Amino acid sequence: MKYAGKKGLVAKALEEIVNLSAEEKKAVGKKINEAKQEIQTKIAELQDKLSGAPSATALDRFVKTLPGKKPMAGHLHIISQAIEEIVEIFKPLGFTRVRYPEIDWEYFAFETLNIPATHPARDEWETFFIDAAADKQYGRQVITPHTSNGQVREMLKGELPIRMLSISRCGRRQEDVNHLQTFFQFEGLAVDKGISITHLKGTLDYFVKHFFGPGRQIRLRPYDFRFTEPSFEIDINCDLCRGEGCKFCKGGWTELGGAGMVHPNVLKAGKIDPNVYTGFAFGWGVERTYMMKSGTKIDDIRYLLNNDLRFLEQF
Ligand code: PHE
């Protein structure tokens, strides 16, 4: 330390060198550097002696074949992986991915979807409202509680037939093992002449077979959505308990999302003649759908957003 440390004699000498003439600098600098090297070699030898290793300088001891430290390589988050997979599965059926606002007017989130102002979904308990002035025609702004806000927006583009796959972030005021306040949905919409329930069922069967594998089952449960008629909820047999019932599912089945035939009022709001055209729609949660993939064994949806690498690196 006395000679070679950061504040040692060598360092001090190097500092003082600035006061010398150019020639003197050269000569003295050389001497100091030689002394420094000698001291360092001595220290290395001393260290080796103490540790019992063969005598070598620091450079000699450097193992040139030792592999360097690899930089951490990440991968897409599992939600992004799931979205990519969903998009690829629907592509051959002609569905194109689009995105619509994640903060939208009540008009598109509710009004045009046949959901009147008295519907519980308009309750602040379910939906996050933006603290901003309401628009006379479009109402208040909300964090979209579902991707169905894209339905009428897509129709208003005026291009028929429609094969839409809208995937966006949604928000609802609930959080537990199978709900997140921030989650993703994928929404399919097909509008054409002669679209019937068999097209809906065939499309969902096709998706389920490709996403979950051949061994899984879905069931359609009659339900009531205001913007589809008839409406269904789609359940899949739970991959965690294989039908026995567990903390995640309801008696062996887990709800993936809703579906149904587009209500004539929604077509009208989208300036499409319901006497000529019909359509089907479905909207499912991306995270839940991914969790139900065979073998993932994720029993709490909140893990997905915890950003714990020990969890994320498994996928
Ligand atoms: N928007 C509904 C929901 O979030 C799902 C749905 C979409 C139902 C399309 C029918 C048709 O629960």
Report pLDDT digits (tens) over 92-136.
Answer: 999 999 999 999 999 999 999 999 888 877 877 789 999 999 999
Ligand 1 cavity residues, CB under 6 Å:
146, 148, 187, 225, 228, 231, 257-260, 281-283
**Four-residue CA torsion sign, 113, 286, 261, 270:** positive
Nearest-angstrom CA–CA distance, 27 and 47: 31
Under the phi-then-psi rule, with left for phi > 0, alpha for psi from -120 to 50, and beta for the rest, what region is 148?
alpha
Q: Is the pLDDT of residue 58 over 90?
A: no
Tell me the per-residue pLDDT of 185-197, one tens digit each, with 9 for 90 and over.
999 999 999 999 9
Q: For residue 283, how far is its CA from the centre of ligand 1 (angstroms)?
A: 4
pLDDT over 90 at 150, yes or no? yes
Q: What DSSP character marks residue 180?
A: -
* Shortest-distance Cα residue to atom 12 of ligand 1: 258
**What is the distance in A from the centroid of ligand 1 to the CA of 226?**
9
Widest CA span in the chain: 101
Distance CA(147)–CA(295), nearest Å, equals 28
**Vertex 78, ends 248 and 244: CA angle to 5°?**
20
Considering only CA atoms, which residue is closest to atom 4 of ligand 1? 146
Distance 43 CA to ligand 1 centre (A): 74
Q: What is the pLDDT of residue 3?
A: 66
- pTM beyond 0.85: the answer is no
Compute CA distances 219 → 205, 255, 297, whole Å.
10, 9, 21
What mean pLDDT comes out for the span 269-280? 98
| Rounded-to-integer distance, Cα 227 and Cα 214, Å | 31
Question: Which residue CA neighbors atom 8 of ligand 1 most closely?
Answer: 258
Distances (CA, A) of 76 to 82, 98, 314: 10, 20, 12
Mutate to test the pocket of ligand 1, among 168, 174, 220, 227 (most ligand atoms within 8 A of CB): 227
Determine the Cα–Cα distance for residues 74 and 33; give it in Å rounded to an integer: 45
CA atoms within 13 A on the CB side of 1: 0
| Rounded mean pLDDT, 170-180 | 91
Question: Per residue in 204-262, pLDDT tens?
Answer: 999 999 999 887 888 999 999 999 999 999 998 888 887 888 888 888 998 889 999 99
Instruction: Say what the pLDDT of residue 54 is.
Output: 54
Predicted local distance difference test score (pLDDT) of residue 158: 97
